[in-house]
Amino acid sequence: MSRILVVDDEPSMREFLQILLSKDGHEVVTAGDVSGALERFRGGDFDLVVSDLRLGRESGLDILKAVKEGSPQTEVVMVTAFATTENAVQAMKLGAHDYVLKPFKNEELRLVVEKALEHRKLVAENQVLRHRVGERRRQDEKILGDAPAMEEVRQLVEKLAATRTTVLITGESGTGKEVVARAVHVHGDRRDLPFVAINCGAIPEGLIESEFFGHEKGSFTGATDAKPGLFEVAGSGTLFLDEVGELPPPVQVKLLRALQERRIRRVGSQKDVSISARVLAATNRDLEREVKAGRFREDLFYRLNVIQIRLPPLRERREDIPLFVDHFLGRFAAELGREKPRLSAEASRLLQAYDWPGNLRELANVLERAATLVEGDLVEPDLLPPALRGGAGASGPSLSAELPAEGVDLQGHLDAIERRMLEQALARAGGVKTEAARVLSLTFRSLRYRLAKFGIGGEH
């Protein structure tokens, strides 16, 4: 039920509007002048004010101004028999949702009131959503962990946040490299500017250059419109290049030029565009080894690796596992609308003993599963995946098997294991390749190559 304040200097009109709107299920309060309206407005929480424009010698615009100053979310509909363009424009400038001309049809007024209340509800829902997203983002941007290595990371982030220095964030898959990149962004003076993230391994090779630098209309088949690249979209904010080690050599060359000259050129264009975005990069590869192997340009590596932040894997900071357990269980329980469960002693022991090859991402998945399946307030070991419980086949193929006397086809054996793991990951992911890549801690491009290698999933 909505609360509506009706203001009109004619008693018969006040009574009529009260009856009309009350029949639609609204709670209606009335007033006959500006002072009475403002007194009632200050004494109650109203969703909508319906006011006549002329109230004897007074103006309904005074009510409109006061309402919008005191409660911007309250909608106002003006009613008038003396409509002029000037009055309408002034009312809309002051924040009126709409205005209705006298004489009006009942359905006309009802429709305007309904739309005003719908808008009020949408605004309120958006405010709640923005608050939740903001809270979630603030939590996600916190670099959690009490381990000494994480304190070093936090100190580096604070020192680097206000600079333009290019930063390379390294660590295994799932260690939280994007969280660190976002923390660098929000702790600096670019916090109110865009943060644009791109996973370099998830974009088809033929489209990477267009994604980075944009393209002009007609520059290639399918380019039906001009499109700005991510450097332009980021503006003076931050561009985060995740899995930068996956970039093909031709794009490495152009990225190096962009970083050196602070200029880019759209595909199909003859004109350079200046760029001002700060670049943060991340990789789970050993880029020095990639440079030695000729797969990554040495000059680009040095350009990106001005300052390096290394994120340790979870197995090197087991003392932080309880902190993350509390964080993730709280988040997932809140999303499910439940009380936060706790771990049994045995479940906690299993989480501490596991090596977490997928790091924080894997831990989050395990705890989301537990928070979803738990029926009481205690997470027992049976709610954890087999890999953590040490069940049969939990850790994949046995590495302790004796080598047969007649020898073994090692490559064939490894290929069989790899094929089986790929098929199981695809099955678990419901055929969604990006999810299968995440399950296997692979980049999308690496997964696609392996699927093609074995002729799995329609990749040939």
How confident is the model over 147-203, as pLDDT tens digits?
Answer: 899 999 999 999 999 898 999 999 998 899 999 999 999 988 888 899 999 999 888
Banded pLDDT at 295 (limits 50, 70, 90): very high
Reply yes or no on whether the pLDDT at 138 is more than 80: no
Reply yes or no on whether the pLDDT at 351 is more than 70: yes
pLDDT tens track for 7-24: 999 999 999 999 999 999
pLDDT tens track for 192-243: 899 999 999 888 888 889 999 999 888 887 778 888 999 999 999 999 999 9
Encoded amino acid at 35, one letter? S
Determine the angle formed by the axes of helices 11-23 and 106-140, rounding to 10 degrees: 60
pLDDT tens track for 64-92: 999 988 888 899 999 987 766 677 778 88
Strand partners, 98: 77
Q: What is the mean pLDDT of residues 318-334?
A: 92
pLDDT tens track for 364-396: 989 999 999 998 889 999 999 888 876 433 444
Mean pLDDT estimate for the chain: 86
Encoded amino acid at 446, one letter? S
- Residue 405 is predicted with a pLDDT of 66
Reply yes or no on whether the pLDDT at 401 is more than 60: no
The structural domains of the chain, ordered by start, are 3-132 (3.40.50.2300), 144-312 (3.40.50.300), 315-389 (1.10.8.60), 410-454 (1.10.10)
